[in-house]
Amino acid sequence: MKTKTKYRIRNWTDYNRSLQKRGSLTVWISEEAVENWLYLEKTGERGASKRYSNLAIQTIATMKAVFHQAGRQTTGLVKSIFELMKIELPVPDHSTLSRRLETLPVELSVKCAKGARHIVVDSTGVKVYGEGEWKVRTHGVSKRRTWRKLHLCVDEKTNEIIAAAATENSVADCQAFPELIAGIDDPIEQISADGSYDRRGVYQAIRGRGIWRAAIPPRKNARIWQHGNSKQERLIRDEDLRAVRKNEAEKGGKRNQIITGEVWRKQRFFDTKQSFRTS
């Protein structure tokens, strides 16, 4: 019978110092955020112009998610930080923060790739909260409360989220793929996905981007789309299917676990419940 290995701590000085660093807090606000905190120009449209920039709203929302606070507590935290750092800037109230987050355009910061990327594509489910357990047990689940699908493109080497899109749960993975892949500007060397992407529209989008390598396992009842004697250019998917039948296919099924691991890390950091978003 195997026994659990016990490790004894001998470097207590370093161990205590590392635990102290876990509780330390360092807040740094860039000069760009301070300079672009407010909108100085008028939009010229009807109604009042926006006072706070998108960068200011995104900064406060990030702190709210990291520290797991409500809107009022987050605005109070930002005000106290500004006072300690002697930054004379106003802070939006919680209602302004909630209203602006509904239409806030969020851009994913991605590191520049040295070469072509290997993209792993998959989707995960996001539950829309709002109904209590008592209401569900008594009256059932409301039709308005449902799941949302989060489609992700992740770089296999860096585990960075390159592109993302949220859709209704009725939208299939293959339907969201063309628009999702179109949002990636960097050159792509290979696409890896599961069998739900084994569709003609997916391979047409892959071919339209000039990608000549795709690791997508064929479906169980898959058939050859284009005969081998055809004069037209051979399809990548048909070549993969022929390789599967010859037991020479590339074994890349575990690549889709990259998506699962990346979503799990984000949930552990930002919490499993997201707010402010209505769609």
* Predicted confidence (pLDDT) per residue in 256-274, tens digit: 566 667 666 666 655 555 5
Cβ contact 161:153 at 8 Å: yes
Report the alpha-carbon distance of residue 36 to residue 59 in Å, rounded.
Answer: 12
On the 0-12 / 13-18 / 19+ scale of CB atoms within 10 A, 138 is exposed
Show the DSSP H helices in the chain as ranges: 12-23, 31-35, 54-67, 71-84, 94-101, 133-139, 173-182, 200-208, 236-245, 257-270
Report the alpha-carbon distance of residue 81 to residue 84 in Å, rounded.
Answer: 5
pLDDT tens readout for residues 52-98? 998 899 999 988 888 888 889 999 999 999 999 899 999 999 999 99
Location of structure tokens 């599967």: 244
Report the alpha-carbon distance of residue 74 to residue 80 in Å, rounded.
Answer: 10
pTM for the full model? 0.60
Of 221 and 121, the one with more pLDDT: 121
pLDDT at 133: 61
Task: Tell me the fold of 117-270.
Answer: Nucleotidyltransferase; domain 5 (3.30.420)
CB-CB neighbours of 263 under 10 Å: 19
Amino acid letter for position 74 = T
180: left (phi over 0), alpha (psi -120 to 50) or beta: alpha
Among candidate residues 89, 70, 241, 259, the one with its CA nearest the CA of residue 163: 259
According to CATH, where is 3.30.420 located in the chain? 117-270
DSSP-based three-state secondary structure for 108? coil
pLDDT tens readout for residues 144-166? 556 788 888 888 888 888 888 88
